[in-house]
Amino acid sequence: MTFKHNYSFVFFVVFSLLHTICYGQKKNYFNVEVGGAAATSNFIPFWLQSNQHGDFTGGSPAFLSRFTLGKPESNTNNFDWSWKASGIYSNANQNRFRADELFAAVRLDALSFSIGKQREKTFFGGISSTNGNILFSQNARPFPAFKLELNRYVDVPLTKGWLSFKGHWREGILNDSRYVKNTLVHNKFILLKWGKSSIFHLETGLEHFVQWGGDSFSRGALPQGFKDYLRIISGREGKTFETINALGNHIGNYHINAHWKRSGHHLKLFIQHFFEDRSGREWDNWPDGLYGISWDRGKSDGYPCKLIYEFYFSKNQSGPLHNDETGGILSGDDDYFSHGIYRSGWKYFGRTIGSPFFKPYPYKDFETIDTSLRNGDGGIENSRLVAHHVGFSGNWENWSYRSMASWTLNWGRFQDPYSSRKDQFSFLTEMIWESKNGDFEIRTALAIDRGDLYPNSFGGMLKVIRNFNF
């Protein structure tokens, strides 16, 4: 996206800025960020490029400049609104400028509505491999969407506070270059809280994503009318298209969390069981999922205050492709984050939207698999894996740090397995210094890759950020 094609972007920024100056009561901000990363190979190490919102695409060296303007949300008022506009200029984007975040949001008490491209908030202090969601991490660029959210728990009537809920409803579009152009995305999520004790409570939730509609390279326009929308949100089969399977590419996730809080400490145990179809919904793909534990000491004394361990298992996939118990409908080979119609898979601008451990196909590799897809790109290259991930972070005065290490065992896919198992170790350590008034920030990081999945590489990153409030 070049400047001459960004009139709407510039208009939005100017209008929002003038409106905020005239009517806003909270300070606006303007940030300038300059940074880069380099490595001993032509591949930036895994944790320098993963969960970075698509800032770095893999090639070394990489340089970027980011400019951000916006109005933050207030956490004290019952009614508030916010907006943000940021752009990136980088060599990874063919030395062109592109919009990064561009959104406006309004909040009334616990209910909020946002529209545009917005990055996901960071959880677990940035040390989780998934940012707390195996289906929707910080690995890819934000895509255009609108989102209605109940952002804090609300009691269910007649339960006397023993049961409460929160959640969101999102509609978006994947407008990158892909096999099905302008693929639509539906997403909904509900999380229930059981118990009203301030010390211990349980959470159970269900999240649902659907890729649907769009214009396929081989099939033309796919169903995306209102009746089709009603079918995809309820998981029903199509009327004239995909009459056996559910219409669209469905991905889901069960959430089970246990929280213990006392004396400033917060211990969390969590399970995320993800699925692609009925067999996964009925747990036939067990034990596939994400299992983890996190601990927050609630202190800033220089020692690690946040720690996390995550374990992945995704080898089952309801078994290889087979007939069901009646000898009828085929089942198995859930092939996570890939799909026969939406062949670009669960990714955006070449990066997996979910956990970065699910490695996507490079375009040239997929072309050798199926040359009929010359105008499309591949889905996920590696979906059968076992992974261990640990991380910790801490801070002291105006310094903060985090470190992460991952060990993965990778088998590829049932349909396209690796010739032998590929083992991979990836490590990152980062140090951040921030001035006392918060107007200046320096970030440095070192990372290393050793293994069979990615090139052996040692690399570093440096970012300098200047913040202005007015």
The reported pTM is: 0.89
Q: How far is CA 40 from CA 48, 355, 424, in A?
A: 13, 25, 17
112 Rama sector, left if φ>0, alpha if ψ -120 to 50, beta otherwise = beta
Dump strand ranges (E) for 156-300.
Answer: 163-174, 180-181, 183-194, 200-212, 215-216, 220-221, 249-262, 265-275, 289-296
**DSSP type of residue 361:** P
Output phi, psi for 324, to 5 deg. Answer: -75, -175
CA distance 278 to 280: 5
Question: Which pLDDT score is estimated for 60?
Answer: 82
**DSSP type of residue 332:** -
CA distance 136 to 141: 11
**Each residue's pLDDT expressed in tens, for the chain with a length of 470 residues:** 433 444 444 445 444 544 544 454 557 999 999 999 999 998 999 999 999 999 887 788 889 999 999 999 887 778 999 999 999 998 866 667 899 999 999 999 999 999 999 999 999 999 999 999 999 999 999 999 999 999 999 999 999 999 999 999 999 999 998 889 999 999 999 999 999 998 999 999 999 999 999 998 888 999 999 999 999 999 887 666 665 678 999 999 999 999 999 989 999 999 999 999 888 888 889 999 999 999 999 888 889 999 999 999 999 998 776 666 665 556 667 899 999 899 999 999 989 999 999 999 875 444 444 544 444 457 899 999 999 999 999 999 899 999 999 999 999 999 889 999 999 999 999 999 999 888 999 999 999 999 999 999 999 999 999 999 98
Burial of 220 (0-12, 13-18, 19+ CB in 10 A): exposed
Question: Which pLDDT score is estimated for 463?
Answer: 96
Count of beta carbons in the 10 Å neighbourhood of residue 158: 7
* Residue whose pair of structure tokens reads 């990158």 in the numeric block: 176
CB 396 within 8 A of CB 433: no
